[in-house]
Amino acid sequence: MNYSILPQEDYKKKIKYRKNEFRCYSKKQLKERYPNKDYKVVGETKYNNKKEALGTLRAGGETYSVSQVKSNSRILWAERGYAAVGKDSYVVLLKSRIPFLLILFGLLIGFCVCLALLIRMLVFGPPDLPPLHPLPGVDSYVESMTDDPTIKNPTPAEGGGSVAMIYQLKASLSLSSGQIGIYFKNPNASNHDVAVQLYIVSGDKEILIAESGLIEAGYSLNRLDMIENAATLQEGLYEGKFKVIYYNPETGERALVESDINDVLITVTE
Amino acid sequence: MKKLLALLLVAILALSLSLFAFADTITSLDVPATETGNVNVTVTDTRSPEEIPVTYNVVVEWEDLNFTYTITGDWDPEAHKYEGDWNKTFANITVTNHSNADVKVDAELSGDVTKNSVTASLSNDSFTLDSAVGTTYGDAPNQNITVNIDGNPDTTNTTFELATVTVTISKVD
């Protein structure tokens, strides 16, 4: 069946399919014209209607396929207008709800996120944001240097500092206990605290296998715990290095200077 | 016979009462008198060089590595820079070796190095320090690494971190 939109003077609604615009009745107008609902809807159409066609509708120079009423889902398509095609006969003009649904979905997601953050703030308090270089806690294995002949260095001036490192180029790792014996001292001559990392060097790769907590000036460290699953090692000798990071004891800031100590011989035993 | 033996013993006893000198042999000494001699000390270590453990003691000391640029002039539209002055253009990092072995020192910058038209660089970033054996604590071998700053910042009223200096210490074979 071929239909054409009959012009009516009291069309108040405009519908646009791509660049094609034409006039029709709104739902409200139809209810006012037909309080007893004595009109007939012969079909429905939309832009690029793929449903089984009962006919066509000619409008604004374009032809649209007309399918059975309610053949298109009303969740995705809304009835936006009614075009007169005969006496008391109309074709429903549909428009997509998808843009609206996407906006609604986005707003819903945003609302849920805000609600979750609010609940988190109220229940757990504000988020704990660690600084870029957090100050480690004092290492539990440190020992006071009772034989340190050096005198306590004064608090470092802003921006400056001094670290004396006493060490031996060896480390012994026990695979069964996961403990690493080292020789490292941070004497009183230092005015910065330090933390020590132990790496295994394999070609261009450096693999971190242990790191200490804070070693304050006047303290030594002779033991580290291997980081779990850091590497799979076998008994034998490995090349390693210490990385020594300096921390200002007054501000807790990490210094702009640090040291690498190469040529550490790591002996791995069972 | 007994008298002869007794005389012999007396002579031996008299001779054993002579004085001993560590260096010079004293043939006669007036009383009272003073005699001096040299005290020589010989130190020996019977261990092989491989058995002597090396305990390294290296001190890294650095000056203030904060540099301030104060804008004193107007914006230069051609150079796209503000005229101004640096409070300083370099700072030193001193490495001292108190170890009983030589050490090799290398320094490098990590991080942005160049940021906001300001560049950091190093001078004397690689050297060897001799063992401290034979020196006093105050005269231990040391050298300076110099951190240099160059350029006119193209930003205002901001503080930014340019680089970290890593001082690498290696043993000398």
pLDDT tens across B152-163, in order? 887 777 788 888
Interchain CB distance below 8 Å, A158 and B66: yes
Nearest to A259 by CA among B29, B136, B58, B51: B58
Q: Which residues of A touch B56 (CB under 8 A)?
A: 165-169, 261
Interface of B to A at Cβ within 8 Å reads 53-66, 93, 98, 161, 163-171
pLDDT at A260: 97
Q: Which of B62, B167, B169 sits opposite A160 (nearest CB)?
A: B62
Q: Which of B54, B58, B161 sits opposite A168 (nearest CB)?
A: B54
Is B19 a residue whose pLDDT tops 50?
Answer: no
Is B18 a residue whose pLDDT tops 60?
Answer: no
Q: Which residues of B touch A167 (CB under 8 A)?
A: 55-56
CATH number of B55-171: 2.60.40
- When pLDDT is averaged across residues B44-53 and rounded to a whole number, the result is 70
Q: Which of A163, A168, A258 sits opposite B166 (nearest CB)?
A: A258
pLDDT at A218: 93
Top CATH class, A143-269: mainly beta
Residue with tokens 């990385």: A243
Return the domain boundaries, chain A: 2-98, 143-269
Going through B50-151 in order, the beta strands assigned E by DSSP cover 56-62, 69-76, 81-86, 90-97, 103-111, 114-115, 118-123, 126-129, 142-150
Residue B9 in 3-state DSSP?
Answer: helix
pTM: 0.62
How confident is the prediction for chain A on average, in pLDDT?
Answer: 90
Closest CA–CA distance from residue B146 to any residue of chain A (Å): 12
Q: Which residues of A touch B126 (CB under 8 A)?
A: none
Over residues B64-83, the pLDDT tens digits come to 999 998 888 887 788 777 78
- Chain B CA closest to residue A153: B61
* A vs B: CB pairs below 8 A: 82
Interchain CB distance below 8 Å, A257 and B55: no
Interface of A to B at Cβ within 8 Å reads 157-169, 183, 189, 255-263
Closest CA–CA distance from residue B52 to any residue of chain A (Å): 12
pLDDT at A175: 94
Over residues B88-106, the pLDDT tens digits come to 999 999 999 999 999 999 9
**C-alpha span between A169 and A108 (Å, rounded):** 61
Six-digit token string for A37: 């609902």
Closest CA–CA distance from residue B119 to any residue of chain A (Å): 16
Q: Which residues of B touch A131 (CB under 8 A)?
A: none
Six-digit token string for A20: 């094609």
Q: What residues does B73 pair with on adjacent strands?
A: none
Confidence of residue A42 (pLDDT cuts 50, 70, 90): very high
